[in-house]
Structure 1
Amino acid sequence: MSTIKQPRYRVIALRIAEKISTNQIKVGEKIHARSTLATTFGVSSETARRALNVLVDLEIVEIRHGSGAIVVSRQKAQEYVAAENEARDLQSLENGLTEQIKEHQAGLNALAKSIKNYVDQSQHYQQHNPLTPFELTLTENSSLYGKTLSELNFWHLTGTTLVGIGHEDKLVISPGPYAKIELGDTLYFVGDENSVQIVQNFFYDN
C-alpha cells in the first residue's frame, strides 16, 4: 500500500507541535536552537530551520530577537496536530479504497478471462462435435407455419439438418419431408456456428 511520505522538516515540525499540544513544551518556553534540533533529530541545520519556519507560519511559535523561538500558542499546535492526523486518516482511507478498486479490477479481469476461455472452449467443442444439435423454440408468429419441410425447402435454404422436432410434449426424431412446423415447436438441428441465426432469420424475416 503506497503512502505519501512527508518531508523530514514537516515531520520534525509535527513532533514539536505534538509536544506543545500535550503541554510537554509550555507556552512561553524557548525551543532548542537550530543546531540542537538538528542534532536531536539527526538532520541538517537547514532542515531544522525549515521545521521552525513551519511552526512560525502556523503562529505556534514566534521568533524573537535575542530570545530565539518562543512557544506562543498551544491551541494552534493542537489544531495543527488534529489537521495532520485527519490528513493521515484520509490518506489511509484513500489507500484502502485504492486497494479495493485494484482487487475489484483484478476480479473483473479474472471473470473476463474465464468468460473468454468458456467461449473459446464452446466454439472449439462445437467445431469438433458437429453432431451436437442446436435448439430453437419458435415463439413468434411466422407465415411459414403449417407448411411441410419439403414445402419450406428447409434443408436447402438454411444449410442445416433438422434432426428433431419437439411438438406438444412429443419429440419427433429425424422428421421426414412431410413433417410440418408449427408455432411453439422446438427445432433441433445441426450446422455451423451461424445456424441458429440463419434459422431464426428463415422463419421471422419472411
Structure 2
Amino acid sequence: MTEVTSAGASPSGLFVTLEGGDGVGKTTQARLLEEWLAGQGRTVVRTREPGGTEVGVLIRDIVLHHRGDVAPRAEALLYAADRAHHIETVVRPAIARGEVVIQDRYLDSSVAYQGAGRVLDADEVRDLSLWAADGLLPQVTVLLDLDPTAARARLDADDKPFDRLEAEKHDFHARVRSAFLALAASEPERFLVLDASRPVDEIAAAIRERVSSVL
C-alpha cells in the first residue's frame, strides 16, 4: 500500500488543488486565488494536470485530443506518468521553496474520471496515482460541484470543440460527479465542497477563507 505523506515539506509551502467536472469554473477560481495570494506577498506556482510540464503537454495531447480510442487502463497510466514527472519536477520543488502551488486537477480527477467514468477499480487507480506522486496529498482540495447538465450548458456556451472527456455522455459525467462527492465525504478534512452555481465572487471568498486557515 502506498504511503500518504503531507504536502507540507516546508512549514510555509502549501499545495492547493481544484477539482470537479468539466465546466465548473476551476480555471477561473485558480486565477482568482493566485491573484489574491500574490497580493498577500506569496510566491505562487499555478499549474495543471495533465500538461504542467513539457512532457505533460505531449501527454495531454494524447489523452484529451487523440482522435482514436485510448484503452481505459492505458489512459490511467498516461495520467499517472504525467503526474509522476510533474510532481517530481514542479510541485515538490515549489513546496520545498516555501511557495504556494495552485493546481487544476490532481489524483482525485483520476479516481473520478478513470475509476468511475471508465469503470476501472477506483482503489487501484488511487494507489497508482499515489505511487506516481510518491504519496503527496494537498493540504486543501476545493471541489466545485455542479450538475452535469448545467456544466454541459456552460461548455456549449463557450462554443469551443470538446475534448475526449468533455464529449462523453451524461451517464459518464454523472458517475464522475458521484465519485468526486464520495471522495470528499471520505476526506472532509482535506476537501472544501462548494456549489459551483453560486456567484463567482462568493466561491472565491469561501476558497480564500479556507486557504487562509492553513497558511
Normalising by structure 1, we get a TM-score of 0.19
- Structure with greater contact order relative to length (CA < 8 Å, sep ≥ 6): 2
